[in-house]
Amino acid sequence: MNGYEYTDVIYEVRGTVAVITMNRPEKLNALSASMTEGMAVALKEAQADDNVRVVVITGAGRGFCSGQDLQARSLAEGRGLPDGVEPTIADRRYNIHAIQAVARAAQQLDKPYLAALNGPAAGAGLDLASMADIRFAAKGARFTTAFARNGIVSGDGGCYYLPRIVGMAKALDLMWTSRMFDADEALEMGYVTKVCEPEALMDETMAYAELLSNCAPISVQYIKQLAYQSQNTDLDTALRMAQYMQTIATSTDDALEGPRAFREKRPPNFTGR
């Protein structure tokens, strides 16, 4: 632990899997400033912990995240707004900067990042889900981008992530109309990888996380880096990056352990070295 006192976020490490739980169930995990700060810290802590191989994010209660809590002031003030009082421009700017820190921390995470969507994800909550590499959803969960319906835009990378996941035309449809779509449609369009029964969601997500944890950590991290970086460069540059990463990967102990375990007909014991 880094000594940070988490508020509205639960951070725990289960074996080699770090689990980040947004913990404001009474508000469907609407984002407070302390929650966004805590998530950014948790992602950085998971990145720095060599024992963590996979990261999972989910929400407490019946919702994943209902988006920004517009009735919450900045962390500096530490209190809610009175009824009927709208947040100021400074409040909104603070909230944008806070959640952008989460987007940057997620982008810098070179370990597999999974989202277990246990319930509704709306607005910034959907953007948080989109920051993950792979998403699992509970049957019956519903999602919306919400921004255009409220006269605003995504300030935390939603317009960056969503087209890369579902394609530009589908992303624009979802963002322009702000229409609701359910877990089954999300699966059909490729936004989620699997739809699970609600009571089995975390078990299935954690089982997949454990599967990834048993793979060679350096290979997994380099594959993630190369896959994302290759989206923003030309083929020749991508091939050069692949050559460099392959040179490093083949010099590791794990590159010897994999073939050895195959020959000996046993599961490999990858150490990340």
Q: Tell me what pLDDT residue 89 has.
A: 61
Extract the tokens encoding 40: 């950014």
Average pLDDT estimate for 142-170: 93
Contacts of 141 (CB under 8 A, 6+ apart): 64, 117, 118, 119, 120, 121, 182, 183
| Least confident residue range of 1-10, 226-235, 264-273 | 1-10
More confident residue, 94 or 49: 49
Q: What is the fold, at CATH topology level, of the domain defined by 9-213?
A: 2-enoyl-CoA Hydratase; Chain A, domain 1 (3.90.226)
Is residue 81 pLDDT above 80, yes or no?
no
Average pLDDT estimate for 32-59: 95
Q: Tell me what pLDDT residue 31 has.
A: 92
If 0-12 CB within 10 Å is exposed, 13-18 middle and 19+ buried, where does residue 28 land? Answer: buried
Residues 39 and 5: beta-carbon distance below 8 Å: no
Extract the tokens encoding 12: 């725990």
Share of the chain above pLDDT 90, in %: 80
Q: Please report the beta strands in 104-237, taking only residues with DSSP state E, as ranges in sequence order.
A: 113-117, 121-122, 134-138, 142-144, 181-182, 194-196
Is residue 1 pLDDT above 60, yes or no?
no
How many other CB atoms sit within 10 Å of the CB of residue 173?
A: 15
Residue 76 banded pLDDT, cuts 50, 70, 90: very low
CATH 1.10.12 range(s) for the chain read 217-263
Extract the tokens encoding 128: 């948080």
Q: Which CATH number fits domain 217-263: 1.20.1740, 1.10.12, 1.10.3210, 1.10.3470?
A: 1.10.12
Strands 9-14 and 17-22: antiparallel
The overall pTM is greater than 0.85:
yes
Give dist(CA 99, CA 114) in Å, integer: 18
Closest CA to 77 of 132, 126, 34, 111: 34
Average pLDDT estimate for 238-250: 94
CATH 3.90.226.10 range(s) for the chain read 9-213
